Every structure is written in C-alpha cells, then in structure tokens.
Amino acid sequence: GIAALILTVPNPTAVADVGMLLSFTATLGIILWARKILVYIMGKFAKLKRLKKPVEFTVNLFAVSVSATVWTMPISVLMFGKVSVFSILLSVILSPAVSVLVACALLAVILYGFGIVSIIAYPLTFVCEQLSKYVIFIVGTFSDIPFSSVNARKPYFYIWLALIAVMVIVGYFVKNKANYAVKSAVISLCVLALGFAVYSVIDVNTTVINIYATGGNTVTVKRGKNCSVVSCGGEAANVYYAVSDIMEDTTLLDFLIVPSDSDGSLLYADIFQTKFDESDVLIYDSKGENEDNGNVKYFTVNKSFTLNLNSETKDEAVSTESGVYQYISTESTAVLLLDGNCKAEDILEKHRKADYIITDKDGDNLQDICGKRIITNTDDANAKDCEDMIFVRDENLQIVID
C-alpha cells in the first residue's frame, strides 16, 4: 500500500505502467494463493522428517512462482502478446538469486549516500552485477529453445483466459480450495494444449494476409510455416512492432519483396534482412543502378515476375512506368497490392478483378476500376468518404484468403 502511494501520488498515470501492473498483480496472486498451495503440497509430505525444510523451501518457491505467473498472465498476454512456456520453472530457478540481487541493490543505493560508509556499496554492486549476468544468461539460454514462448494473439488463448477467470470465481465458493486449484490447473493446461493443437492444424492449411498498422504498406502472406513479406514501408517508429509480431511465428522468410525504392521502404528492408533469414530478397530499383548480390536481386521498370509464395498462393509482381503492383491470388481469393505512386490505369485488365485492394494511397478511382474492398493506411480526408474502405491505422488487420 505504501509503495502504491509513493508511485501514484506524484504520478497518477503510473497505474497504467506495465511494471506496476505486473508487480502488484503478482503480489496479489502470491498473497491469495501461495500459502494455500504450499499447505496442500506439504500435506503430501507429512511423514517427511530430515528433508522437510529443503523440500518446504523448494515447494514454497514453486507455490510463489505458480501464483505470480497465473495472476500476471492476463496482463502479459494483453501487453506483450505472448507467454513463456518456462516461466514457472525459471521463476523457481532464479527466485533465490533475484532475492539476493534486490537486497544487495537496495543496500547499495542506501549506503552510497553516507560518506565513507559508501565504500561498502561497491562490493554489493559487484554482487549485483554477477547475479544480473547469471539471470540474463539463464533467461537467454531458455529463450533460445524452440517454442519457448507461445504466441498469445490467437482466439484459443483468449478462450483459455476466460476459462481461467471462471475457474477463479468458482474457486471462491469451493471449500477445499487447494485441491480445487490443483485440478483447475490440470484442466486449464489440457484445454490450452488442445486449443494449441487444433489451431496449429487449422493454421497449417490456412493462407492469411496480415496488414500491419505502420503508416504504410507492411504486408505479409503466411500459410503454416511459409511466410513472405511482400511489402514493407511506413513510419520508422512502427516497424519493430511488425518485426516482433512476425518473429513470434517464424524466423525464416521465404521471400522479402520491396516494391518501392523510397527511403522508408529501403530502411525497412535492411531491418528485415537483419532480423530474419530469407531465401530470396527482391528489391525495386527504378533507376537500375544496383547489381544483384547473393540472394538479393533487383528489378527495374517494366520488369515482371511470378512467385509461388506457398503451395496455394501465387504472386504476380508487375513493374509499370508509374510504380509496382502485386496480384496475390489463391483459388478462392485475389488481392491487389499497390505501393508508392502506381496508377490505377496502369493495372492490367486481367488483374482488375481483385476481391481486396491494399494501398498506401487514398484509393481514388480504385474501387471503380479494380475491386470490391479497399484497405488503406492513409489519413487522407478524401478517403474517408469512400464506401467499403477499411482503414488500418491503430490496429493490425488479418484477411483469410484461402
């Protein structure tokens, strides 16, 4: 309570700080659940004598970790969009080290302001440094394990969170709370595993286009493990959000296509090339000044090519006098992607029947010439008057095309 007052009285907006939300929610979970879990588990070791204290110490770490993790999970999902598979295990392993680290850091801060006594702060900070390196090393090692975190921006995950909320509410009306908590945990994990398995099967056989709210065209085509970035552009401050979201599903791009040679798009290309492994990188060069280099290839005006982004999706890229457009199609859906200054009248007749148009412009005349629904990042006032136009500015958009 004192900590809450210190943080919020001078700065009321601190209540929305993710650090404060996680800290206070974790503490609440520990207060409400940890003791009950400890008592329940230690009841199974009633006959234990010699090893009772070390067992109780370990079980206490587990109880605290479970309580904190479960209670902070909803906030982690909403804020970060993913959950660590090893969070409870890591918490058990690192809790002793972190406890010592926090104590030493607090003492060092206090002692540093007391003249000659401040010399004691230096060995304490050395201990903090070594413990910090240990914590970072352990966390880094576990994070390198494949599927160490689960992408929580999936429908089944929100269903699972709703189930947990219902279980928590019901738990307050159950007499044997410890036994109920254990059974609830087992049921919730089974539901989560089932949801992940079902969604994985569906995801493998579904082709989706993701349009990111970057202020420009940042678009991916994904089917199962196949993922291609077919356009990357927008505001520099937003690109890392898109990169992070893509990395939650894959670290390999089949194709990276840069259909505009504007400075913003080329900057994004460098970032994507740094963060991902790619099979092919295709960059538009309107002046024809660059030469192919390894897996990086350049295409100029009036050059067209066709790519198979995955087993079901074809991408026809056409470079016109005014700019580049791509016609992305499956058996059931076609999407027209326009970048930069590409004019509607330059689009080939066979490509004018798209189900969706994605553009970073205002979409003027596009609806009459080419398609049914227009998706845009623009803030152009004239675009607001266009019916059937979808604006992607604050939230990402996903379209299932097969």
Query: Given this model, what pLDDT does residue 381 score?
Result: 46
If asked whether residues 165 and 299 sit together in one domain, one would say: no
Are 114 and 255 in a shared domain? Answer: no
257 alpha-carbon distance from chain centroid: 22
Residue 316 is predicted with a pLDDT of 94
| Together in a domain, 216 and 188 | no
Structural domain boundaries, residue 197: 158-204
Please calculate the CA angle 40-45-50 and round it to the nearest 5 degrees: 140
Residue at a domain's end among 204, 227, 261: 204
Are 31 and 99 part of one and the same domain?
A: yes
Residue after which a domain boundary falls, among 204, 239, 271: 204
Residues 166, 136 share a domain: no
Are 253 and 294 in a shared domain? yes
> What's the rounded Cα separation, in Å, for the pair 247 and 242?
9
Read off the CATH number of the domain in which 275 is found.
3.60.15.10
Residues 240 and 100 in one domain: no
Burial of 266 from C-beta contacts in 10 A (0-12 / 13-18 / 19+): middle
Residues 150 and 116 in one domain: yes
**pLDDT at res. 372:** 67
CA distances from 57 to 45, 51, 168 (A): 13, 10, 26
Q: Which residues pair with 389 in a beta bridge?
A: 374
Find, among 377, 304, 310, the residue nearest to 347 by Cα: 304
pLDDT of residue 135: 95
Q: Are residues 261 and 144 in the same domain?
A: no
**Beta pairing, strands 313-319 & 324-329:** antiparallel
pLDDT of residue 370: 56
Tell me how far apart the alpha carbons of residues 307 and 229 are, in angstroms, rounded to a whole number.
12
Count of structural domains within the chain: 3
pLDDT of residue 209: 92
Are 234 and 176 found together in one domain?
no
Mean pLDDT by 10 residues, the chain (402 residues): 91 89 92 88 82 87 88 82 82 90 93 85 94 94 78 77 85 81 83 81 83 86 89 79 78 88 76 82 86 87 90 91 90 86 82 85 60 71 58 80 84
Q: Which residues does residue 308 pair with via DSSP β-bridges, in sequence order?
A: 314
Amino acid in the structure at residue 284: Y
Q: What is the pairing mode between strands 252-258 and 226-231?
A: parallel
Does one domain contain both 6 and 125? Answer: yes
Half-sphere exposure of 357 (CA within 13 A, CB side): 28
Please, is 363 exposed, middle or buried when counting C-beta atoms within 10 Å of its C-beta (0-12, 13-18, 19+)?
Answer: buried
The Cα–Cα gap between 174 and 397 comes to 42
Does 87 lie in the same domain as 52? yes
| Amino acid 382: pLDDT | 52
Burial of 301 (0-12, 13-18, 19+ CB in 10 A): middle
